[in-house]
C-alpha cells in the first residue's frame, strides 16, 4: 500500500494491507494441498518441503504494487497479468531446484500442473477483492485529510487534479499558496483560480501559510517550489514546526533535517516526505500489535495491584480514585489520559502547576505511587483504546503544551505519533519537573530522535530499560 496514503491507519486497514501481502503465499499452499488430494497424492514430507519453499518464495516475489489500491483501472486482467509474471518466477526457481536436487521426479505431474495453473488465477482474484475491501475502508470521512499546496505550477496543478480524481487518496486539497499575482500565474482574472480547477483557489501568499494551517487544522502540505528557493523552503519549514501537518516536497531533493524521510510517488508524481509519522503499512501493524499484546498481558498481571491501589487511594484521601486529564495525542488532538489520583487537587486548566519536590499537594500514598510510576498503570487502558502507545513521547498537559510550543522550535512534531507510557526521553533521565526551557528542550530532542530512529527493537529496548530504571529514578516525585 502506498505509504503516502492514510499513514495513521486503523487496525482493520492495517490487517487488510497485511492480507494483501500474505494472501498469494497462503493460496499457493492451500491449492497445493487441494491438488494433491484431488489427484490422490499423499501430502508427505516432499510436498511439505515444496509448500515451505513455495510460501517463502511467494512472499518475496508475488506482491501487489504499492499503489495498487489507487489505480482506477486496476481490474482482474491487470492483476492476473502481474501475478502470472511473478508466479512464473517462483515456478522457474522451484523447477531449477527440483532438477538440481533430482527430486522433480518424485512429484505428480498432473497435480503440479493443476497447482501451477490455478494458483495465479486465485491469487489475482484475492488481490482484486482485497483491493476493493481496502478502498471501502479508506474512503470514509474520518480518513480524509485536508491539504494545501505551496507553489502553483504545472507539477502542483497536475497533483491537485489527480488527487481530486482519486478519492482513494483520502486527501482533499483546499487550495494554493503562492507569492505571485494571478496575472503572473496565468489564472482567471475574475475567479483567481487555476484554469480547469475551480475547486482549488489561491488561499494567500507564503507568509500567510503557517497561520492558515494552524487556524484550519490542515493535515498535509505539499511544497512545490523550485529548488532555487531553498531558503524560502527552509523558512516555511521553520514556521510550520509549530504544527502537526505532514510535509511533502515536490520534486525529490533533500534540503533539510527530516523526520522519517523517504522518496516515492503519489498518483504518479514524485514526492519526498519531509516530515511524517514513522508508522505506516506493516510498521503500523507491528506497532499496534506490540501495544495490544504487551498492554493486555501487563493489564492482566497488574489487575490485583490496581485494585489494591484503588482501595488505598480511596481510603487515604477524599476524592475520586482516577484522575482524568486532557492532554494532546496524535496530531495534536485532545485525548483523556487516566492516572490514579495522587494529589489533593485535580488540575486540568490553564493554571496548571507542575509537581515539585516535596509538593504539599501530593498525598502520602501519592508519593509512593509517583516514585515507582504506579499511578500511570491505568494508562494501559488508554493504550488498548488506541489513544496511547506503550512507547512514544510522553503526553503533556494542555497548558504545558501551549506554554512550550511557543518557546521550542519543532515542539509539535512530537505529536506525529501516539503519546507513550514511556519513551526515549524518560530512559535518558528527562522526566519530572521541567522548571527551565532547556530541560524541556532536552526532552524534545529525545522525542524527535525517537521518530527518526524508530524500530520494533528500539521499542523493546526502551521498555526493558524503563523496567530497570523505575527503581532507580530520583526525578519521580
Predicted confidence (pLDDT) per residue in 139-180, tens digit: 665 677 889 999 888 778 888 888 887 777 778 899 999 887
Q: What is the pLDDT of residue 391?
A: 94
Q: Name the residue with higher pLDDT: 473 or 36.
A: 36
Q: In terms of DSSP bridges, do strands 322-328 and 334-340 run parallel, antiparallel, or are they unpaired? A: antiparallel
91 pLDDT more than 60 = yes
What average pLDDT does this structure show over 16-37?
A: 90
Q: What is the pLDDT of residue 256?
A: 46
Of the candidates 38, 31, 28, which has an alpha carbon nearest to the alpha carbon of residue 91? 28
**3-class SS of residue 325:** strand
Most confident range, picked from 38-52, 238-252, 422-436: 38-52
Strand partners, 362: 343
First to last CA, the chain: 46
Burial of 361-371, coded b for 16+ CB within 10 Å and e otherwise, reads ebbebbeebbe
Q: Name the residue with higher pLDDT: 400 or 168.
A: 400
Share of the chain above pLDDT 90, in %: 26
2 pLDDT more than 60 = no
What average pLDDT does this structure show over 309-322?
A: 90
Of the ranges 90-94, 152-156, 259-263, 265-269, which one carries the lowest mean pLDDT score? 259-263
Half-sphere exposure of 147 toward its Cβ, with a 13 Å CA cutoff? Answer: 27
> Which phi and psi angles does 328 have, rounded to 5°?
-90, 135
**pLDDT confidence band for 116 (50 / 70 / 90):** very high
Q: Name the residue with higher pLDDT: 135 or 215.
A: 215
Task: For domain 144-275, give the fold.
Answer: Rossmann fold (3.40.50)
317 pLDDT more than 80 = yes
What contacts 71, CB < 8 A, 6 or more positions away? 65, 78
Q: What is the pLDDT of residue 294?
A: 92
What average pLDDT does this structure show over 427-451?
A: 86
In the chain, which residues fall in CATH 3.40.50.720?
144-275
What are the DSSP E strand ranges found in 346-469? 389-391, 420-422
Q: What is the pLDDT of residue 231?
A: 77
Of the ranges 159-168, 290-299, 392-401, which one carries the lowest mean pLDDT score? 159-168
> Which phi and psi angles does 202 have, rounded to 5°?
-75, 125
Do residues 90 and 111 touch, judged by C-beta distance below 8 A?
A: no
266 pLDDT more than 80 = no
205 pLDDT more than 80 = yes
Model confidence over 57-89: pLDDT tens digits? Answer: 998 888 776 554 444 445 788 888 889 999 999
Cis peptide before 251 (omega within 30 of 0): yes
Burial of 226-248, coded b for 16+ CB within 10 Å and e otherwise, reads eeebeebbeebbebbbbbbbbbb
Of the candidates 191, 242, 196, 176, which has an alpha carbon nearest to the alpha carbon of residue 215? 242
Amino acid at each position: 500500500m502506498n505509504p503516502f496514503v492514510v499513514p495513521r491507519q486503523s487496525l482493520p486497514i492495517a490487517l487488510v494491507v497485511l492480507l494483501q501481502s500474505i494472501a498469494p503465499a497462503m493460496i499457493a499452499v492451500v491449492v497445493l494441498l487441494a491438488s494433491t488430494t484431488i489427484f490422490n497424492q499423499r501430502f508427505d514430507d516432499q510436498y511439505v518441503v515444496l509448500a515451505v519453499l513455495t510460501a517463502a518464495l511467494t512472499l518475496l516475489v508475488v506482491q501487489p504494487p504499492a499503489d495498487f489500491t489507487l489505480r482506477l483501472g486496476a481490474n482482474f486482467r491487470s492483476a492476473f497479468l502481474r501475478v502470472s509474471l511473478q508466479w512464473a518466477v517462483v515456478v522457474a526457481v522451484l523447477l531449477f531446484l527440483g532438477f538440481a536436487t533430482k527430486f522433480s521426479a518424485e512429484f505428480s505431474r498432473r497435480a503440479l500442473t493443476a497447482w501451477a495453473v490455478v494458483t495465479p488465477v486465485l491469487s489475482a482474484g484475492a488481490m482484486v477483492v482485497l483491493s476493493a475491501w481496502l478502498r471501502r475502508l479508506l474512503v470514509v470521512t474520518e480518513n480524509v485529510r485536508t491539504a494545501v499546496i505551496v507553489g502553483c505550477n504545472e507539477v502542483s496543478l497536475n497533483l491537485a487534479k489527480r488527487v481530486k480524481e482519486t478519492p482513494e487518496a483520502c486527501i482533499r486539497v483546499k487550495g494554493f499558496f503562492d507569492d505571485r499575482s494571478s496575472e503572473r500565474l496565468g489564472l482567471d482574472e475574475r475567479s483567481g483560480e487555476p484554469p480547469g480547477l475551480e475547486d482549488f483557489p489561491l488561499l494567500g501568499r507564503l507568509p500567510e501559510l503557517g497561520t492558515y494551517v494552524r487556524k484550519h487544522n490542515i493535515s498535509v502540505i505539499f511544497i512545490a517550489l523550485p529548488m532555487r528557493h531553498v531558503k524560502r523552503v527552509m523558512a516555511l519549514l521553520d514556521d510550520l514546526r509549530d504544527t502537526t501537518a505532514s510535509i511533502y516536497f515536490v520534486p525529490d531533493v533533500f534540503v533539510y533535517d527530516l523526520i522519517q524521510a523517504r522518496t516515492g510517488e503519489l498518483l504518479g508524481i514524485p514526492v519526498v516526505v519531509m516530515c511524517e509519522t514513522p508508522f505506516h503499512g506493516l510498521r503500523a501493524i507491528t506497532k499496534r500489535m506490540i501495544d495490544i499484546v504487551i498492554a493486555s498481558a501487563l493489564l492482566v498481571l497488574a489487575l490485583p495491584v490496581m485494585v489494591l491501589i484503588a482501595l488505598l487511594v480511596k481510603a487515604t484521601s477524599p476524592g475520586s480514585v482516577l484522575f482524568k486529564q486532557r492532554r494532546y495525542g496524535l496530531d495534536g488532538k485532545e485525548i483523556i489520559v487516566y492516572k490514579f489520583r495522587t494529589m489533593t487537587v485535580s488540575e486540568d486548566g490553564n493554571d496548571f502547576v507542575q509537581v515539585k519536590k516535596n509538593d504539599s499537594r501530593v498525598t502520602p500514598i501519592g508519593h509512593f505511587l509517583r516514585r515507582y510510576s504506579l499511578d500511570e498503570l491505568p494508562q494501559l487502558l488508554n493504550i488498548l483504546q488506541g489513544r496511547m502507545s506503550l512507547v512514544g513521547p510522553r503526553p503533556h498537559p494542555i497548558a504545558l503544551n501551549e506554554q512550550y510550543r511557543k518557546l521550542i522550535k519543532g515542539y509539535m512534531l512530537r505529536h506525529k505519533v501516539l503519546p507513550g507510557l514511556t519513551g526515549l526521553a524518560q530512559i535518558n533521565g528527562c522526566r519530572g519537573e521541567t522548571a527551565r526551557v532547556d530541560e524541556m528542550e532536552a526532552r524534545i530532542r529525545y522525542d524527535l530522535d525517537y521518530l527518526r530512529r524508530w524500530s520494533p527493537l528500539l521499542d523493546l529496548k526502551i521498555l526493558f530499560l524503563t523496567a530497570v530504571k523505575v527503581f532507580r529514578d530520583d526525578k519521580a516525585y
